[in-house]
Copies of this chain bind each other. A is one copy, B any other.
């Protein structure tokens, strides 16, 4: 029942995106890792670009859905720290390097850092729904900031993490199950950046 080749191909793309990013992603690396023929990509997915764009799109959808559910499950009287832990759950509370959501999140953040064309195609679409529920929640905890400044800091934290995840620090945090200290350092920094006084 070799009906599983497409899944193998997508899994290989995920693994290679996580390891090397989209820049150094070759057809033959993909097919070799998937145990498939080079022509399999063109047969099952129209082209290589199609495949990686699809992988990015599905990663965004999966992470976004999980995020939405976590936000919905937040109690009405949650703290800002709780909100941050939900927001950055894939990074802060990964069960380990094999945690699927954490891997997908890292793939997305890395793709954002290197402006992967396959990611940019679907980036804004899925970012919106979360932001539209997240920004108002953030606003409730940051009454001293205007909506503009809240949006700015929200983007700053996201952009900041995309720079961090590919750094030694980010890797330490991603293994926060074995590194609770790194997680605390990161949360403290994010909290300070959000709660700090408004701009002049």
Contacts and interface: CB of A to CB of B under 8 A. Distances in A.
Interface of A: 21, 23, 112-115, 149, 152-153, 155-156, 158-164, 166-170, 181, 184-200
A158 B168 CA distance: 12
A26 to B, nearest CB: 13
Contacts of A184: 199-200
A114 B23 contact: yes
Nearest to A200: B184
Contacts of A161: 160, 163
Contacts of A169: 152, 155-156, 159
A197 B112 CA distance: 30
A97 B160 CA distance: 22
A43 to B, nearest CB: 28
B198 A195 contact: no
Nearest to A198: B188
Contacts of A187: 199
26 contacts: A113-B113, A113-B162, A113-B163, A113-B166, A115-B166, A152-B189, A155-B169, A156-B169, A158-B163, A159-B160, A159-B164, A159-B169, A160-B164, A161-B163, A163-B164, A184-B199, A184-B200, A185-B199, A188-B196, A188-B199, A188-B200, A191-B196, A192-B197, A193-B193, A195-B196, A196-B196
